[in-house]
């Protein structure tokens, strides 16, 4: 470090530290008398464990009269009345840089394999404001994801934000793995929030694979970790994606799942005394979602194309979190359990899914072919019950007859093996041919 840089740092260095002490622990929260701090600031709680000094990081989440309310990032074990609380006067920061690519880290930016962070990383805050709306360039370029049904029927643009809505066990993680391996993005950032511990390694090794991990940063916050750490997993992944976007890259951010972020925020909200509203979700949940989701998209340097999975409670697409997220994003992909039960993967229900930017991205022949396939699929499904029980007589309707002829080839086209890769050009050419000839 140069002498001039050191001289700049000296005036910014605090000349004294602020301390407080733990007053009591209530549920998930720690109340302390001091130190002087602000909401979002990180504090260090000093304690002794088995004769050794131990430090637990915690974040200021509110105040109760003269008491500071803290929530720890780790277990509260060994915290006792009178434990020293030190203010850092900083929000949560993580280290980011190109040498982080290929790593699996936790919500605080530490490698999960126990290794040390590489050198040459930069510090960034996990919580930032979203880009100014007038500084966002329009989305006018296609982002190839390598999944036929999405590229051809639900075309995605660079900087678009899409929700993947599905119940449990319908193939969300598998679809994210396909996108991560096949996409033309410069870099993948994947946030696994609230996942089972078993699923993290399985996702990395089976769904993502060695090829996908080489250009991916994974942020994992499993379901057994404190609520605050699960929320920070989402914000940390977004901050990493923002760092590379500002470097001029086209980043693919995938988050599984937004629902578990909302559940973690509900835990915190209830713990600090917020009133429960719709289905027990607190008002802060509906405030944090747009704050998180609006940070992605385009800016003057690069783009973040984002896929957010939403765990649909009881396959109800109108439950509060699904409804809120769908209103914020630029499109939604619905995975249908009935389609999955038929053996069609990815189990995308095209008639319930939409990309709000497809009309601006696709050329006329592509849009015409996609519209025709949708019409044929809709016509068939409206008459499916009659067709299946043999009550429909051929010749009763020209449209239904045509839909019956096309249907097997449409389903065959929409199916894609997990390891199969198709380019955007190939997918669109096949779609146009299918719409014109039925083959």
| pLDDT value at residue 194 | 86
Whether 351 has a pLDDT exceeding 80, the answer reads yes
Q: What average pLDDT does this structure show over 27-54?
A: 85
pLDDT of 12: 61
pLDDT (mean) for 356-381: 93
pLDDT interval class at 368 (50, 70, 90): very high
Amino acid 424: pLDDT: 93
Q: What is the mean pLDDT of residues 24-47?
A: 88
Q: Decide which of 376 and 27 is more confident.
A: 376
* pLDDT computed for residue 377 by the predictor: 93
Mean residue pLDDT across the chain? 88
232 vs 235: CA distance, rounded Å:
5
Burial 310-337 (b: 16+ CB within 10 A, else e): bbbeebebebbbbebbbeebbbbbbbbb
CA 10 to the chain's CA centroid: 39
Whole-angstrom distance, CA of residue 19 vs CA of residue 353: 53
Q: What is the pTM of this model?
A: 0.90
**DSSP-derived secondary structure letter, 348:** B
Across 73-78, average pLDDT? 82
pLDDT of amino acid 203: 86
pLDDT at 1 over 60: no
CB atoms within 10 A of CB 383: 17
Span 197-201, average pLDDT = 84
Distance CA 389, CA 404 (A): 14
Q: Is the pLDDT of residue 47 over 90?
A: no
Do 30 and 228 form a contact (C-beta atoms < 8 A)?
no
pLDDT score of 83: 87
pLDDT confidence band for 113 (50 / 70 / 90): confident
With a CB cutoff of 8 Å and minimum separation 6, the contacts of 28 are: 71, 226, 227, 267, 268, 271
pLDDT at 161 (0 to 100): 95
pLDDT at 5: 60
Cβ-based neighbours of 426, under 8 Å, separated by 6 or more: none
Q: Please check the confidence at residue 302 and state whether its pLDDT lies above 60.
A: yes
Using alpha carbons, list the distances in angstroms from residue 298 to 252, 288, 302, 309: 12, 20, 6, 20
pLDDT of residue 282: 93
Q: What is the mean pLDDT of residues 367-380?
A: 93
Q: How confident is the model at residue 398 (pLDDT cuts 50, 70, 90)?
A: confident
Supply 388's token pair.
């299946």
**Torsion sign, CA atoms 434, 357, 353, 223:** positive
Sign of CA dihedral 166, 169, 170, 174: positive
Neighbours of 7 (CB within 10 A): 9
Domains in the chain, start-ordered, CATH in brackets? 17-91 (2.40.10.170), 94-360 (3.40.50.12240), 365-437 (1.20.1270.330)
User: 389-408 burial string, b = 16+ CB within 10 Å, else e?
Assistant: eeebeeeeeeebeebbebbe
Distance CA 294, CA 282 (A): 20
pLDDT of residue 77: 79
Distances (CA, A) of 211 to 183, 218, 241: 12, 14, 20
- Mean pLDDT of the 304-309 span: 95
The average pLDDT across 147-168 equals 93
Instruction: Say whether 208 sits in a helix, a strand or coil.
Output: helix
Structure tokens at 279: 């289905």
Q: Give residue-wise pLDDT tens across range 80-109.
A: 888 899 998 889 999 999 999 999 999 999
pLDDT band, very low/low/confident/very high, at 9 (cuts 50, 70, 90): low
């Amino acid at each position: 470090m140069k002498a001039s840089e050191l001289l700049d740092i000296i005036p910014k260095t605090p000349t004294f530290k602020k301390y407080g002490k733990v007053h009591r622990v209530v549920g998930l929260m720690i109340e302390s008398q001091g130190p002087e701090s602000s909401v979002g600031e990180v504090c260090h709680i000093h304690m002794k464990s088995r004769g050794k000094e131990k430090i637990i990081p915690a974040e200021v989440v509110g105040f109760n009269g003269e008491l500071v309310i803290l929530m720890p990032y780790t277990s509260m074990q060994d915290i006792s009345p009178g434990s020293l609380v030190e203010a850092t006067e900083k929000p949560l920061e993580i280290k980011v840089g190109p040498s982080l690519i290929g790593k699996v880290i936790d919500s605080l930016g530490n490698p999960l394999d126990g290794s040390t962070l590489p050198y040459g990383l930069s510090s960034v805050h996990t919580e930032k404001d979203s880009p100014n709306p007038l500084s966002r360039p329009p989305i006018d370029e296609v982002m190839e994801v390598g999944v036929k049904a999405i590229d051809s029927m639900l075309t995605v643009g660079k900087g678009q934000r899409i929700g993947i809505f599905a119940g449990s066990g319908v193939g969300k993680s598998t679809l994210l793995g396909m996108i991560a391996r096949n996409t033309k993005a410069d870099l993948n950032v994947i946030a696994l929030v609230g996942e089972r511990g078993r699923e993290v390694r399985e996702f990395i090794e089976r769904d993502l694979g060695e090829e996908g991990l080489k250009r991916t940063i994974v942020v994992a916050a499993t379901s057994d970790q404190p609520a605050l750490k699960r929320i920070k997993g989402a914000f940390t992944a977004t901050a990493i994606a923002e760092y590379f976007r500002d470097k001029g890259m086209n980043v693919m951010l995938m988050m599984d799942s937004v629902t578990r972020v909302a559940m973690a925020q509900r835990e915190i909200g209830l713990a600090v005394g917020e009133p429960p509203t719709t289905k027990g979700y607190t008002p802060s949940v509906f405030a944090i979602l747009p704050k998180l989701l609006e940070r992605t998209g385009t800016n003057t340097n690069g783009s973040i194309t984002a896929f957010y999975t939403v765990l649909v409670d009881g396959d109800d697409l109108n439950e509060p979190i699904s409804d809120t997220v769908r209103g914020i994003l630029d499109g939604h992909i619905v995975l249908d359990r009935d389609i999955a039960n038929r053996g069609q993967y990815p189990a995308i229900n095209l008639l319930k899914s939409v990309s709000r930017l497809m009309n601006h991205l696709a050329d006329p022949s592509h849009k015409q072919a996609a519209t025709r396939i949708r019409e044929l699929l809709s016509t068939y499904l409206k008459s499916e019950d009659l067709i299946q029980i043999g009550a429909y007589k051929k010749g009763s309707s020209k449209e239904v007859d045509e839909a019956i002829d096309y249907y097997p080839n449409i389903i065959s086209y929409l199916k894609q093996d997990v390891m199969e890769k198709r380019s955007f050009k190939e997918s669109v050419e096949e779609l146009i041919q299918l719409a014109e000839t039925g083959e």
